[in-house]
Amino acid sequence: QSALTQPASVSGSPGQSITISCTGTSSDVGGYNYVSWYQHHPGKAPKLMIYDVSNRPSGVSNRFSGSKSGNTASLTISGLQAEDEADYYCTSYTSSATLVFGTGTKVTVL
Amino acid sequence: QVQLVESGGGVVQPGRSLRLSCAASGFTFSSYGMHWVRQAPGKGLEWVAIAWHDGGNKFYSDSVKGRFTISRDDSKNTLYLQMNSLRAEDTAVYYCARAHSSSWAYFDYWGQGTLVTVSS
């Protein structure tokens, strides 16, 4: 099972919006709505930001939103803030009844 | 509050075995699926395995299938990962994570991790 493809880095200025893509296949992202996104500050535990493609857990800012089209899922962060600077990973359920992570994206707030 | 504490990491030679533990507290352990996820130095996160809350269903990534075994002891609120035939590429920080209540496909709580180094 190959990792889902994410851009290595995305950057934006405070207040701007950025979008992180997560590309898989019809055997994972495209075939199921079990797509999630995690925010990971180095040295800390990853935090669930989005699940079921577009649902936000309680306590997660509504500046974070998720979507999916075909084999590509996306995470959008609007109103970018300094605290959003972190690594972001997507995950998907697969046809093999396993999970696969994305390659990870480093978000930099300029 | 939910707490997950991993232990058992260390330095091990290629081909040898190691068992990791994850002590859980603050929730009804037997009601939740539990995962192992790892992160190699300088690399991204990689899902390793899951044991469903009923203990009957267990799934593994292709990279560890046949070498690693996930298990749980609900009487001790503890998750385990038995790692055999270790390879250099298994070097990573290993995290245990609780499956989200809505689906085992998500993780809602994570431990701080334990480092496994496979080296001669």
Q: Does A33 touch chain B (CB under 8 A)?
A: no
* CB contact burial B6-35 (16+ within 10 A = b; e otherwise): bebbeebeeeeebebbbbbeebebeebbbb
Q: Of all helices (H) and strands (E), which one includes residue A39?
A: strand A35-40
What is the C-alpha separation between A108 and B104, in angstroms, rounded? 31
A100 CB contacts (<8 Å, ≥6 apart)? A1, A2, A3, A4, A24, A28, A91, A92, A94, B47
What is the C-alpha separation between A6 and A88, in angstroms, rounded? 9
Identify residue B87 by its one-letter amino acid code.
R
Contacts of A51 in chain B (CB under 8 A): 100, 102-103, 105-106
Rg for chain A, CA atoms, rounded: 13
pLDDT in tens, B44-90: 999 999 999 877 799 999 999 999 999 999 999 999 999 999 999 99
Q: How many C-beta neighbours within 10 Å does residue A56 have?
A: 18
CA of A92: which chain B residue's CA is closest? B105
- Which of B62, B100, B110 faces A51 most closely, judged by CB atoms? B100
Per-residue pLDDT of chain A (110 residues; tens, 9 = 90+): 799 999 999 999 999 999 999 999 999 999 999 999 999 998 888 999 999 999 999 999 999 999 999 999 999 999 999 999 999 999 999 999 999 999 999 999 99
Interface contacts A/B by beta carbons within 8 Å: 61
What is the C-alpha separation between A94 and A35, in angstroms, rounded? 10
pLDDT band at B101 (very low <50, low <70, confident <90, very high): confident
Say if the Cβ atoms of B44 and A46 lie within 8 Å: no
- According to DSSP, residue A56 is labeled P
Percent helix, strand and coil across chain A, each to the nearest 5: 5, 50, 50
Q: How many C-beta neighbours within 10 Å does residue A73 have?
A: 30
Smallest CA–CA separation between A89 and chain B, in Å?
8
Contacts of B50 in chain A (CB under 8 A): 99
Smallest CA–CA separation between B60 and chain A, in Å?
7
3-class SS of residue B7: strand
**Percent of chain B scoring above 90 in pLDDT:** 91
Given the structure tokens 């609007």, which residue do they identify? A78
Q: How far is CA B20 from the centre of its chain?
A: 7
